[in-house]
Amino acid sequence: MLSRTLAVAALAMVATAGAAQARDQIRIVGSSTVYPFSTAVAEQFGKGGKFKTPVVESTGTGGGMRLFCSGVGETFPDITNASRRITTSELEACAKNGVTGITEVMIGYDGIVAINAKGGPKFVLTRDQMYKATAKDIPVGGKLVPNPYKSWSDIDPSLPKEPILVYGPAPNHGTRDAYVELVLDPACEKQPEIKALDKDAKKKACQAVREDGAWVEVSENYTVIQQKITANPAALGVITFSYIDQNADKIQAATMDGVTASFETIASGKYPVSRPLFFYVKKQHAGMVPGIKEYLAEFTAEKTWGKEGYLVDKGLIAAPDAQRKEQAANAKNLGDLKM
């Protein structure tokens, strides 16, 4: 009986040891915006030969957070990329599932742009016009009504006499959250009819997009949006600046509130629709999966994310020097997330 017990215990120890070493490759999920940056770092990291190249999946910010916060262990991701900050509800989900140690690293900046195909009409837009073009309900005659605008020129005679058709990110993308936060909310909340609403009613009124075909959700990556606007040069797509920077020969961006998106205007804060980008590290995995600390060191090196780093060639807008130094130290020390 004793020998049988010892045998069972030995098998359990082998199984546990096997589980602990079952994954020797970093797994990264999350934002499609951060995906090309993370992939470039993963490839460079893998070339070092000491660790396997990390697996990077583009799941969208929201999808990545759900996977990241689902638990601790080899079956769950080590890092999630995000084009917005983690939310309180996501942190609560993490804690509920035992993910209690998280490090946040802000990697740089990006902007949200409205694009169409080169050769199509040039758009000079404001956030107020984008709100009126894409919101589900808007104030007309002192009350909220289903969006009546069919053509851009209906909103403003100076805009093209083209049907409103905007391909935008689905709710699983952080870019959608940023579009709501940076475009819809500010323009909506200026409306007198909206100011009178309570918080919940205001959120419902401001953050819903059209469902009549003028706004078309795209849950895939930005290549799909480019394909859509190429087929219809008068249609607009809502994407990130890093993508347009890599495809400037095919697409053009609208100005927003009189400012053209560029590295300089986004880094300086002049471009009104810009945002920081992040990744989040599961601290409990740092001693479980080999190479996590080394991957963080590669990502936060000046040769990577600095003003002359290789991520700049991918479209990342570098954070100011002091901010990069602070974030690099935080990544090295696996600092605790502070909300």
Predicted local confidence at residue 20, as pLDDT? 43
Predicted local confidence at residue 116, as pLDDT? 95
Say whether 18 sits in a helix, a strand or coil.
Answer: helix
pLDDT band at 334 (very low <50, low <70, confident <90, very high): very high
Which is nearest to 112 in space by CA: 251, 243, 288, 220?
A: 243
Residues 115 and 49 in one domain: no
Dihedral angle, C-alpha 107, 109, 111, 112, nearest 10 °: 30
Residues 245 and 311 in one domain: no
Q: What share of the chain is helix, strand, coil (3-state, %, to 5)?
A: 40, 20, 35
Predicted local confidence at residue 17, as pLDDT? 41
Predicted local confidence at residue 11, as pLDDT? 42
Residues 155 and 299 in one domain: no
CB 71 within 8 A of CB 93: no
List of residues 6+ apart from 231 with CB closer than 8 A = none
What is the arithmetic mean of pLDDT over 71-94?
96
Range of the domain at 230: 111-274
Overall number of domains in the chain: 2
Predicted local confidence at residue 133, as pLDDT? 97
Supply the CATH number for residue 291's domain: 3.40.190.10
Predicted local confidence at residue 64, as pLDDT? 96
Give the C-alpha distances (Å, rounded to integers) separating 174 from 24, 143, 212, 253, 278. Answer: 29, 31, 23, 20, 11
Residues 39 and 74 in one domain: yes
Residues 97 and 130 in one domain: no
CB 196 within 8 A of CB 188: no
Residues 262 and 183 in one domain: yes
Any domain includes 1: no
Region of residue 335 (phi > 0: left; psi between -120 and 50: alpha; otherwise: beta): beta
What is the arithmetic mean of pLDDT over 81-86?
94
Predicted local confidence at residue 213, as pLDDT? 96
pLDDT over 90 at 221, yes or no: no
Any domain includes 6: no
Predicted local confidence at residue 219, as pLDDT? 83
d(CA 254, CA 159): 11
Q: Which residues are registered as beta bridge partners of 108?
A: 277
Least confident of 173-182, 184-193, 225-234: 173-182
The residue among 223, 258, 274 that closes a domain is 274
Residues 134 and 182 in one domain: yes
Token representation of residue 72: 């601790």
Residues 262 and 327 in one domain: no
Predicted local confidence at residue 3, as pLDDT? 44
Select the more confidently predicted residue: 336 or 197: 336
Residues 265 and 290 in one domain: no
Residues 232 and 148 in one domain: yes
Any domain includes 148: yes
Any domain includes 41: yes
Any domain includes 282: yes
Predicted local confidence at residue 22, as pLDDT? 61
Q: Are strands 274-282 and 102-117 parallel, antiparallel or unpaired?
A: antiparallel
CB 115 within 8 A of CB 237: yes
Any domain includes 269: yes
Residues 189 and 326 in one domain: no
Q: Which residues are registered as beta bridge partners of 150?
A: none
Residues 120 and 259 in one domain: yes
